[in-house]
Amino acid sequence: MVGTIILFNANCDSVWSPTSWKQKPVAQPTNHEDQEHLSGLPDLVSTQEIDQLSLLVVFAARGQVFIMQGGDCAEAFSDVRPDIIKSKQDLLIARSKYLSDGLGKPVVLIGRIAGQFSKPQTSCFETLSCGEVVNTYRSDNVNGDDAIARSADPDRLYMGYHSPQ
């Protein structure tokens, strides 16, 4: 077993470790009425792909490669179209080549693309212009943009799971 990494941030009173996230409160829980709805679906990413990326991160930590991550903060299901994805992919590839040439080392490109359907918000609720308080829109994977579609809906996770495939 590899030794535990523990980092301490002088600007923070807490100690970080790979499992410290488990001690943190869930600030924005998504309360799905049907928690079992997605449990039978296969993984989106294989263990082999995770292991490959982990190795590339090690190479980056050694300075052998540079990691570039790019993409939208949150996407709409309607943006999962070949023309839009190709355009984003081409842009990311061009930027990574530019970086690679400038740095003189390989660039590992991690695309946030065709699957970024959720994002946290600063508040769980928002007040509409009419004064009604509704759940905050958290992107297509969680709820709808329309005020009447603001409840967390596990079917949206199912749609998000199948959208990029």
Q: What is the amino acid identity at position 134?
A: V
What was the pLDDT predicted at 2? 46
What is the residue extent of each domain of the chain? 43-162
User: Binding-site residues for Mn(2+), please?
Assistant: 73
Residues 6+ apart with CB under 8 A from 140: 74, 75, 76, 77, 117, 118, 156, 159, 160
What pLDDT score was predicted for residue 97? 97
Give binding residues as ranges. 73, 112
pLDDT at residue 107 in the model: 98
CA distances from 19 to 6, 12, 23, 116, 139 (A): 10, 17, 8, 24, 27
Residue numbers belonging to the annotated binding site for phosphoenolpyruvate: 112
Full-model pTM: 0.68
What tokens were used for 67? 């990691």
Give the residue ranges of the chain where pLDDT is below 50.
1-3, 6
So what's the pLDDT on residue 21? Answer: 84
pLDDT tens-digit profile of 64-97? 999 999 998 888 888 888 999 899 999 999 999 9
